Amino acid sequence: MVENVSGKISVTVLVGGYYGLRCEFSKCMIPCLNGGRCRGVNSCRCPFGFSGDHCEIELTTSNRSISQRHTCSVPCRHGICVSPNKCECQRGWRGKKCSRRIYTD
């Protein structure tokens, strides 16, 4: 953020993850946990094996199968069903059902 004290020039450069007139607000006021990444205002993208608004819920083997059986009409092939018809894919997989491999060189 750059400001001219004379009041004639006021330039704000937003640093990643912040917004507001003076970059005073973090996109995620409550930080993402367990390696999650902020993807919008208080919305976290959780890594495989975690769920919740802030990635605070660890999905164990037992609740993965319960979750998948009750919320996804089509099973997640290489991932976990984390909400109604939404798969969280394992690393290296993508797609609505986590059935498309990501190839890297």
Tell me, yes or no, if the pTM score tops 0.75: no
CA separation (Å) from 13 to 3, 6, 27, 66, 90? 10, 19, 15, 46, 35
Q: Are residues 55 and 94 in the same domain?
A: no
Q: Are residues 58 and 13 in the same domain?
A: yes
Domain enclosing residue 16, as ranges: 1-65
Residue 32's CATH number: 2.10.25
Q: Are residues 25 and 73 in the same domain?
A: no
Q: What is the CA radius of gyration of the chain?
A: 19
Q: Are residues 16 and 57 in the same domain?
A: yes
* Residue, of 71 and 21, whose pLDDT is higher: 21
Give the number of domains in the chain: 2
Query: What is the spatial distance between Cα 88 and Cα 45, in angstroms, rounded to a whole number?
Result: 9
Q: Are residues 13 and 49 in the same domain?
A: yes
Query: What is the spatial distance between Cα 20 and Cα 51, in angstroms, rounded to a whole number?
Result: 28
56-100 pLDDT tens trace:
888 765 544 444 444 677 788 888 887 778 888 888 888 988 889
Calculate mean pLDDT across residues 37-62. 79
